[in-house]
Structure 1
Amino acid sequence: MSRTIPASLDAFWLAEAIRLREEQAGPLEDAEARRRAIAGGGDLQQRILARAAWIGGREGLVDAQRSAHQGAALALLALALVALASGAGLAVAALGDGQRPVNVFWALAGLLGLNLVSLLGWGLGLCLGGETSGALGRLWLWLSGALARGARGAQLAPALLVLLGRRRLARWGLGWLVHGLWLLALLAALAVLLALLATRRYGFVWETTLLQPDTFVGLTRALGYLPAWLGFPSPDPATVRASGDGMLAADAARHAWAGWLAGVLTVYGVLPRLLLAAFCGWRWRRGVARLALDLSDPGYVLLGERLMPASERLGVSDPAPESLPTPPASGPSDGRQGALLVAVELDERPWPPALPATVADAGVLDDSAQRRHLLEQLTRHPPGRLAIACDPRRSPDRGTLALLGELARCAGATRVWLLPAPPGEALDPARLDDWRRALDTLGLAHDQASPLPWLETGDD
């Protein structure tokens, strides 16, 4: 990808949103966007992304994306706080206040039961090939949309789903989020569990009516096998059998049961979520790095015919037209140099005036072909200073004002020259005020005095 147009997820997302919008409401006006995309060069995908970036900024979709990001971040923060509070609550509920013995297997079920059910649902969805976001992922999506205040662009959400669906990235992105939230909850539970065990004196028992003591001995040994590899203590068979008859007062028994409970929570709760979050994050980043537009889509095929001119696809067969002269001058630091004077729709006026040697004349723009040709030239060779002469006897219609805006965006600095009336005529003050208000709205400097000294030297 070109370094001037980074192939980020947002760039592809914006291009998809504009494609869907044009499919539903028809093509958008994109003459300036296409000119800039073609002038930037690159392959078809790069030009589509450049066009989308320009149109997205104009139509407010970039702001809508920014709002969507803010909503997603706020939703994630809210869910993270809920996860921390829920994890802490699970630990407190599992151990109680220390006044009564802790049933170790009921405590373990309270700490890991819902987590294991969620994990089983995620794995089943993954094996069946469906989406694996679960209720937590859907809740985050809903909260993100609700918190994205003022977001414009109804096509943003479906465009993102279409884009991520091509490489099945939604499952990995949402999986990363869901496992991360569960990991946060389990870490909070483990931290509170250890804090309670360190500051309170708990006794541990197990109880049964149907099962034999050997069943609990085998279950305790099986669950404690992997934690023992990490150094967590585990009660011996005699301690397990004795705990079925009542709470043991020996500190060694309390320590063994507490270590066993913390070890099982770590190995069967925290570690699986940590590994799955890392795996989903790796798959997500890998998939995003390989994202590409589906250039076989009919919408992009039509764009290809407009963004890849035949002269570029087949080779140039005729000499290129002469570019506008750009006499050397000390231009701005962005590389724009030279001074240029252009007129828009003049009625029977002698043109051009006598120009200094350092100021080039771009003629009079009377039709769309001339405008398009000049804009293409200015996109490739932007001048440092541009003066646009307008006849204030005409009304400032929207087409002319749009042209002035496009011309101004191609130059380092722009001034509009409101020409004085020819000898024997007078300007309409109301129409002149209309011009001034319109140019002020566009943010363009304007004056009735000649801009030639400014064009020549850059100084009034």
Structure 2
Amino acid sequence: MMPISLTELVRLLEQRNHIFSADPTVITEQLRQNHQDNLSKLHRRAELIDRHQELADRLNRHQHRIQWLLYMAAAVWFITGFMGTYGLMQQSALNFFVVLMGILGMNTIMLFIWLINVCFRRQTQSITIPFLYGKHSDAVGQAIAQLDSDAMFRPHTMWRRSVVMHRLTLMGLMGMFVAALLLLLVRQYRFTWESTLLSNQTMTHAIAYLAWLPEKLGFDVPTASAILASRNHLDETNAATWGSLLLGSLLCYGILPRLLAWGVSVWQTHRHQPELNLQLPYYQNIIQRWQRKIVDSDQDYSPDPVRQSPAITLQAASQHWAVAVDMLPQNNPQWYQDVLGQEWLNQNVVASRDEWVHLAQTAAAQPVQLLVAIRAAQTPDRGTIRRLASLGTNVIVWLWTDSTSDSSTQERLQQWYDVCEQYGWTWVKCNNVKSL
């Protein structure tokens, strides 16, 4: 979910005129020639805008705060379940049904409420906890808060909330089970049951139905005679079977149903993966800028022929190196940064024969994609072409111009285009590169 969160956070901040580490307009233009799908380009754009990973760090810290809050909540639920059951079983004489309802009553009601909400798709009100967002007056903190609020009623987030709720309730039930088990191990209890309206036969059948599943799982359960003997009498003889039924009921009718609900919620969370809404005007404007073409409607207009570079494919499995031929682009030592939306490892300038040989040998020893900066006004002589050819075909030529560019530069550009086509190199067009 992290790429979507970062992309959405950049959207919210950009709409609020936030100042980023990198200019979003420049990054958008740099990604124009990146031939990935629009969704991948939008995620990459957000990563490049957050060049120093300040926003990503804030999102990570926010997620860590939520995780620690959930850990503490789980501990509180376990302790609460343990202490509640401990308090309920302080007396040595226990009414079986009172103890059972005290342990499972609220859990059963909460589970039925959850089932009703799921069946009728009812939404519960969200709660905002200010300290989760750091400095709430900070623009980034407010944007993260809005991001969580906007996602609150989306299917993925709603099922994630169900996962959290069931996980916490399971911790409470585990605390109850542990407390009941420990007390039954170290104390001698006597069990009874009472009823004003129900007959012996009715209660015998009811307890038999209740004991059916625990008995299948190996728990000892009271017999019909033991059930009758415990009515209005504190039965110590069959106390072990009543205690076993209590533990079995807690497991079968408390923990297992809640565990099943938790599993369903996890499955639904994976089914409803979060998606970026590309129909928002913000994303549509960016996508249209990438797809926009200038068309002249005059019938008598004949455009100059434009040489199109073949589609540039960035090799994901390769390293990405950037090298300048003979000299760096003027006033731009960071020329390679974010070209085509890719991070390039700077290999500086190659000029001498030994430097070319070393670069060719190093590149041949491992999968490498090279971005080679060449001054467009430089003539594509045989020596330069031969050295470029020694680097293989996985080369992208970055042709740059300077303030002294003239008609002769355009002629040499055409020559470079011919050379690139002949040797199978792709190139970055000069009109998409900032003149320096």
The two structures share one fold, judged by TM-score above 0.5: yes
Amino acid at match of 2:41: R
Partner of 1:203: 190
In the TM superposition, what is the alpha-carbon distance from 1:44 to its structure 2 partner?
Answer: 0.8
Structure 1 segment 95-244 matched on structure 2, within 5 A: 95-98=89-92, 101-131=93-123, 142=129, 145-150=130-135, 152-163=140-151, 165-166=153-154, 168-244=155-231
In the TM superposition, what is the alpha-carbon distance from 1:204 to its structure 2 partner?
Answer: 0.3
* Closer, same or farther: CA 375–77 of 1 in aligned 2, 3 Å: closer
Question: Does 2:339 align with 1:319?
Answer: no
Question: Does 2:29 align with 1:66?
Answer: no
Structure 1 segment 12-31 matched on structure 2, within 5 A: 12-25=4-17, 29-31=23-25
Partner of 2:28: 34
In the TM superposition, what is the alpha-carbon distance from 1:161 to its structure 2 partner?
Answer: 4.4
In the TM superposition, what is the alpha-carbon distance from 1:282 to its structure 2 partner?
Answer: 1.5
- Kindly indicate whether the alpha-carbon contact (under 8 Å) linking 1:36 and 1:51 is maintained by their aligned counterparts in 2: no
- Kindly indicate whether the alpha-carbon contact (under 8 Å) linking 2:4 and 2:276 is maintained by their aligned counterparts in 1: yes
SS of match in other structure, 2:88: helix
Q: How far apart are the structure 2 equivalents of 1:380 and 1:103?
A: 70
- Kindly indicate whether the alpha-carbon contact (under 8 Å) linking 2:28 and 2:45 is maintained by their aligned counterparts in 1: yes
Partner of 2:262: 277
Amino acid at match of 1:17: L
Q: How far apart are the structure 1 equivalents of 2:219 and 2:209?
A: 14
Partner of 1:455: none
Amino acid at match of 2:217: L
How many residues of Structure 1 are paired with residues of Structure 2 in the alignment?
Answer: 330
| C-alpha distance after superposition, 1:18-54 (max 9, x if no partner) | 2233344489741343245445541111111111122
What TM-score does the superposition give when structure 2 sets the normalisation length? 0.66
* Closer, same or farther: CA 41–248 of 1 in aligned 2, 3 Å: same
* Closer, same or farther: CA 155–17 of 1 in aligned 2, 3 Å: same
* Closer, same or farther: CA 377–222 of 1 in aligned 2, 3 Å: closer
Q: How far apart are the structure 1 equivalents of 2:203 and 2:106?
A: 22
SS of match in other structure, 2:327: strand
Structure 1 segment 329-348 matched on structure 2, within 5 A: 335-339=320-324
SS of match in other structure, 1:384: strand
* Closer, same or farther: CA 59–382 of 1 in aligned 2, 3 Å: closer
Q: How far apart are the structure 1 equivalents of 2:101 and 2:264?
A: 26
Q: How far apart are the structure 1 equivalents of 2:2 and 2:340?
A: 30
Partner of 2:286: 303
In the TM superposition, what is the alpha-carbon distance from 1:112 to its structure 2 partner?
Answer: 0.4
Deviates more, 1:195-204 or 1:26-35: 26-35
In the TM superposition, what is the alpha-carbon distance from 1:271 to its structure 2 partner?
Answer: 0.1
* Closer, same or farther: CA 300–165 of 1 in aligned 2, 3 Å: farther
In the TM superposition, what is the alpha-carbon distance from 1:92 to its structure 2 partner?
Answer: 0.9
Deviates more, 1:260-269 or 1:203-212: 203-212
- Kindly indicate whether the alpha-carbon contact (under 8 Å) linking 2:191 and 2:230 is maintained by their aligned counterparts in 1: yes
Amino acid at match of 1:286: R
| C-alpha distance after superposition, 1:349-373 (max 9, x if no partner) | xxxxxxxxx62253468xxxxx999
Select 2:251's aligned residue among 266, 269, 280. Answer: 266
- Kindly indicate whether the alpha-carbon contact (under 8 Å) linking 1:176 and 1:277 is maintained by their aligned counterparts in 2: yes
In the TM superposition, what is the alpha-carbon distance from 1:88 to its structure 2 partner?
Answer: 0.8
**Kindly, what percent of the aligned residue pairs are identical?**
23
Amino acid at match of 2:123: E
Q: How far apart are the structure 1 equivalents of 2:261 and 2:329?
A: 63
Uncovered stretches (5+) of structure 2, i.e. residues with no partner: 295-304, 310-317, 350-370, 373-436
In the TM superposition, what is the alpha-carbon distance from 1:122 to its structure 2 partner?
Answer: 0.8
Q: How far apart are the structure 2 equivalents of 1:378 and 1:216?
A: 73
Q: How far apart are the structure 2 equivalents of 1:11 and 1:181?
A: 28
- Kindly indicate whether the alpha-carbon contact (under 8 Å) linking 1:64 and 1:150 is maintained by their aligned counterparts in 2: no
Structure 1 segment 308-457 matched on structure 2, within 5 A: 308=291, 310=293, 318-320=306-308, 335-339=320-324, 359-360=326-327, 362-363=329-330, 376=339, 383-385=346-348
SS of match in other structure, 2:142: coil
Question: Does 2:14 align with 1:51?
Answer: no
In the TM superposition, what is the alpha-carbon distance from 1:128 to its structure 2 partner?
Answer: 1.6
In the TM superposition, what is the alpha-carbon distance from 1:148 to its structure 2 partner?
Answer: 4.5
| C-alpha distance after superposition, 1:124-155 (max 9, x if no partner) | 111121235x8xxx56x63xx52443473312
- Kindly indicate whether the alpha-carbon contact (under 8 Å) linking 1:16 and 1:160 is maintained by their aligned counterparts in 2: no
In the TM superposition, what is the alpha-carbon distance from 1:213 to its structure 2 partner?
Answer: 3.2
- Kindly indicate whether the alpha-carbon contact (under 8 Å) linking 2:32 and 2:290 is maintained by their aligned counterparts in 1: yes
Q: How far apart are the structure 2 equivalents of 1:378 and 1:297?
A: 23
- Kindly indicate whether the alpha-carbon contact (under 8 Å) linking 2:214 and 2:245 is maintained by their aligned counterparts in 1: yes
Q: How far apart are the structure 1 equivalents of 2:133 and 2:338?
A: 37
RMSD of equivalent CA atoms = 3.5
Partner of 1:433: none
Partner of 1:424: none
- Kindly indicate whether the alpha-carbon contact (under 8 Å) linking 1:161 and 1:170 is maintained by their aligned counterparts in 2: no
In the TM superposition, what is the alpha-carbon distance from 1:216 to its structure 2 partner?
Answer: 2.5
- Kindly indicate whether the alpha-carbon contact (under 8 Å) linking 1:131 and 1:170 is maintained by their aligned counterparts in 2: no
